[in-house]
Chains A and B, each alone.
Chain A
Amino acid sequence: MKFIAVTACPTGIAHTYMAAAQLEKAAKRLGHSIKVETQGSMGIENELSENDIREASAAIFAVEIPVRNKDRFDGITIIEVSVQDAIKNPDAIFTKFVQS
């Protein structure tokens, strides 16, 4: 399945990127494809395009602060988790969604 994700933590220097890396690893492990946009202290990086968003089955928000430009995701299934969840147990986020 195709996923997209946004990660963001308050300081935006460590966790944002740790969560992104963990989600990418987990997706690969489980045979999904994923593109992760990071909203860290450098601003938005690896920005999701309209195409990315349209083609995705669901968007994962692993955030501790509000997602920027949230209206881009109107009409798509959103899985909201904490940054902690994404770092510690990323696999569960995918399997839970696939099961439901």
Chain B
Amino acid sequence: MNKYLSDTKKYLLSGVSYAIPFVACGGILIAFAIAFAPMTPSGPDFSHAPFLKLILDIGTAAFSFLVPVLAGYIAFGIADRPGLVAGFVGGYIANVVGAGFLGGIVAGLLAGVVVFWIKKIRVPIYLKPVMPILIIPVLSSLIVGYVMFEVIGSPIKDIMTSLTAWLKAMNTGSSVILGLILGCMIAFDMGGPVNKVAFFFGAAMIKEGNFGVMGACAAAICIPPIGLGLATLFAKTLWTQEEHEAGYAALAMGMIGITEGAIPFAAADPIRVIPTIMVGSAIGSVIAMIGGVGDHAPHGGPIVLPVVDNRLVYVAAIITGSLVVALTINALKKFGVRKQA
């Protein structure tokens, strides 16, 4: 059972590893385009900026691959190349029926398992060459497509719809709780599946006209790498040479909203680092939530500042969260070192 779970994690991460560049590319292009377009009460206005509109469209194109690529490469992880078609098709359908990111994960796993079993079927030798290029893709896509359209798609969509409705009716108390949860999720696996669930939730809410969720995520996204990068600068002796180098990289990645910059630190010392960055990100996202920070682009970090509402609060949220991370982790490290000596 344990082996089964760790394998599933491997497959999910396989999908995430291929989807990351799409998200980064799409997110940054969209943020760039929105940042330079004149802002109106109904959102950015592209009617007099055809070139920015072009960049926005390119970014949106890259971003729209997020779910298909994720699903496709989850299936690829399980069943290798024959799994790609059903995975991509399932992921595309997840987008179409509005089942989004969650739907994509389900589609990818389903496609992988289906193809894995089809591959096990013994076929006559003359059928072998047509299995991977014809029979497996057609059969598996039919199965996965049917399940996505007819069985799983709409329940997941309903979850998304009721979430949106709940957000609209939310009061201050629950917005603090939501901020806490989002912040913890963003920091928990630094760009992994849990992080992407929170992120995608924020991104999906932008489409629904609610920018606050993404605002909270955007602050939380950059706090782990920036906070840990600052920590290496604050207390040079506590960190190794490699960690100092990773610290500079983390700062740079934090500035452009890539939580993955924190991974080297968390991997070296997960028990201290992960809870610390979860606290920091949670604080940042709660501040952003209460302060009415809105983010119009599906991306985080200081780089999206131009497209953020209530910029001062946004900056304050990032600084506060990062300082909490830096000071806490250094204090914990010092304590740990003393204990060992």
- Which of these binds chain B: A12-20, A26-34, A45-53? A12-20
B76 — nearest CB in chain A belongs to which residue?
A: A66
- In the bound complex, residues from chain B placing their C-beta under 8 Å from that of A11 are 17, 20, 191, 260, 263
**Pairwise interchain contact A84-B267, C-beta atoms closer than 8 A:** yes
Q: Which residues of A contact B11 (CB under 8 A)?
A: 66
Confirm or deny: B279 has a beta carbon within 8 angstroms of a beta carbon on chain A. no
| B21 touching A41, Cβ below 8 Å | yes
Assess whether A64 is in contact with B13, with CB atoms less than 8 Å apart: yes
Q: In the complex, which residue of chain A has the Cβ closest to the Cβ of B193?
A: A10
Q: Chain B's nearest CB lies how many Å from the CB of A85?
A: 11
In the complex, B141 has a CB within 8 A of chain A: no
Instruction: List B1-27 residues whose CB lies under 8 Å from chain A.
Output: 9-11, 13-14, 16-17, 20-21
With a cutoff of 8 Å between Cβ atoms, the chain B residues found around residue A12 in the complex are 17
Which A67-100 residues sit within 8 Å CB-CB of chain B?
70, 83-84, 87-88
CA distance A18 to B21 in the complex (A): 21
The residue in chain B whose Cβ has the minimal distance to the Cβ of A39 is B17
Contacts of B318 in A (CB 8 A): none
CA–CA, A88 and B192, complex, Å: 21
Task: Let me know if B292 is at the binding interface, CB within 8 A.
Answer: no
* A88→B270 CA distance, assembly (Å): 13
Chain A positions within 8 Å of B268 at CB level: 87-88
Find the A residue at minimum CB distance from B189. Answer: A10
B249 vs chain A, min Cβ distance (A): 8
Which residues in A have their C-beta under 8 angstroms from that of B21?
A: 41
> Which A residue sits closest to B190, measured CB to CB?
A11
Contact between A13 and B260, CB atoms less than 8 A apart: yes
CA distance A13 to B20 in the complex (A): 11
A65 located at the interface, meaning its Cβ lies under 8 Å from any Cβ of chain B in the complex: yes
Chain A residue numbers with a CB within 8 Å of B14 are 10, 65-66
Give min CB distance, A1 to chain B, whole Å. Answer: 28
Q: CA–CA, A14 to B258, complex, Å?
A: 13
Query: Do A14 and B263 form a contact, CB below 8 Å, given A41-B17, A41-B21, A65-B17?
Result: yes
Closest to A70 in B: B80
Contact in complex: B263, A66 (CB < 8 Å)? no
Most chain B CB atoms below 10 A, which of A11, A13, A15:
A11
A65 CA / B80 CA spacing, docked (Å) = 12
**Contact between A10 and B264, CB atoms less than 8 A apart:** no
Q: How far is the CA of A63 from the CA of B78 in the complex (A)?
A: 15
Alpha-carbon gap, A15 to B266, bound state (A):
11
B193 to chain A, nearest CB (A): 10
Partner of A14, one of B10, B20, B192, B246: B246
CA distance A87 to B267 in the complex (A): 9
* Interface residue? B153 (CB, 8 A): no
> What separation, in Å, do the CA atoms of A8 and B60 have in the docked complex?
29
Against A, the Cβ 8 Å flags (1 = close, 0 = not) of B140-172 are: 000000000000000000000000000000000
A64 to B246, CA, bound (A): 20
B267 and A15 contacting across the interface, CB-CB below 8 Å: yes
Complex contact B192–A10 (CB within 8 A): yes
* Beta-carbon contact of B77 and A66 below 8 Å: yes
Complex: chain B residue closest to A16, CB-CB: B17
Complex CA–CA separation, A18 to B280 (angstroms): 27
CB distance from A36 to the nearest CB of B (A): 18
Residues A64 and B10 in contact in the complex (CB < 8 Å), given A11-B17, A11-B20: yes
The residues of A that contact B260 with a CB separation of less than 8 Å are 11, 13
B264–A15 CB distance below 8 A: yes
**How many whole Å from A43's CB to the nearest CB in chain B?**
11
Q: How far is the CB of A38 from chain B (nearest CB, A)?
A: 13
Q: Which A residues form the contact surface with B (CB < 8 A)? A: 9-15, 18, 41, 63-66, 70, 83-84, 87-88
Query: Would you give 15 A-B contacts (Cβ < 8 Å), ordered by A?
Result: A10-B16, A10-B191, A10-B192, A11-B20, A11-B260, A12-B17, A14-B263, A14-B264, A15-B263, A18-B264, A65-B13, A65-B14, A70-B80, A83-B267, A88-B268
Q: A-B pairs with the 3 shortest C-beta distances? A: A10-B13, A10-B17, A65-B14
